Structure 1
Amino acid sequence: MGLSNTLGLLSNDPGRPLHYRFFKRQRHRVNDQIAKSSLISNEAVFAPETFEWPQKVANHWQAIRDEAQAIYRHRDAIPPLREISPDHRGIVKDNAWRSFFLIGYGHRQEQNIARAPRTAELVSQIPGLNSAFFSILAPGSEITPHRGVTKAFITAHLGLVVPIRREKCWMRVGDHRLNWANGEWTIFDDTYEHEVKNETDETRIILLCQVERPLRAPGSWLAAGLMGYVRRSHFVREAKDNLTDWETAYAKAEREIA
Structure 2
Amino acid sequence: MTAARPANTQQSFGTAGVAPMERPSRVTRFFMAMVAMAERLNLRYSKVGNPPVYDTASFPWAREIEKDWHRIRAELEPLLVRQKDLPSFHELSGDVKTISADSAWKTFFLTGYGLSSERNIAQCPDTWRIMQRIPGLKTAMFSIFEPGKHLPPHRGPYNGVLRLHLGLIVPQAPAEKLAIRVDRQTCQWEEGKVLIFDDAYEHEAWNHTDRTRVVLFVDFVKPLRFPARLVNWLLLNLAVFTPFIREGADNQKAWEKRFYEQAEALRNRRG
Q: Aligned to 2:124, which of 99, 116, 119?
A: 116
TM value normalised by structure 2: 0.87
Counterpart Cα distance in 2 of 1:235 and 1:186: 26
Counterpart Cα distance in 2 of 1:23 and 1:188: 24
Counterpart Cα distance in 2 of 1:92 and 1:158: 22
**Root-mean-square deviation (Å):** 1.9
Counterpart Cα distance in 2 of 1:44 and 1:171: 12
Counterpart Cα distance in 1 of 2:245 and 2:166: 24
Give 2:213's aligned residue. Answer: 204
Give 2:264's aligned residue. Answer: 255
Q: Given residue 140 of structure 1, which amino acid in structure 2 is its aligned partner?
A: G
Q: CA deviation at 1:250?
A: 1.9
Q: Which has the larger radius of gyration?
A: 2
Q: Given residue 239 of structure 1, which amino acid in structure 2 is its aligned partner?
A: G
Give 1:194's aligned residue. Answer: 203
Contact 2:113 2:237 in 1 (8 A): no
- 1:154 equivalent to 2:162? Answer yes
Q: Which is worse superposed, 69-78 or 133-142? A: 69-78
- 1:76 equivalent to 2:84? Answer yes
Gaps of at least 5 residues in structure 1 are none
Q: Given residue 32 of structure 2, which amino acid in structure 1 is its aligned partner?
A: K
Q: CA deviation at 1:55?
A: 1.0
Q: CA deviation at 1:257?
A: 4.6
Contact 1:34 1:222 in 2 (8 A): no
Q: CA deviation at 1:240?
A: 0.9
TM value normalised by structure 1: 0.91
Counterpart Cα distance in 2 of 1:158 and 1:252: 30
Contact 1:10 1:87 in 2 (8 A): no
- 1:53 equivalent to 2:92? Answer no
Q: Which is worse superposed, 73-82 or 205-214? A: 73-82
Deviations 1:54-103 (A, max 9, x none): 11111010110111111111112211110000110110130111110111
- 1:139 equivalent to 2:147? Answer yes
Matched residues, number: 251
Q: Which is worse superposed, 32-41 or 196-205? A: 32-41
Over the matched positions of the two proteins, sequence identity in percent amounts to: 33
- 1:232 equivalent to 2:230? Answer no
Structure 1 segments (4+ residues) deviating >4 Å: 25-28
Q: Aligned to 1:246, which of 240, 251, 255?
A: 255
Counterpart Cα distance in 1 of 2:75 and 2:174: 22
Give 2:172's aligned residue. Answer: 164
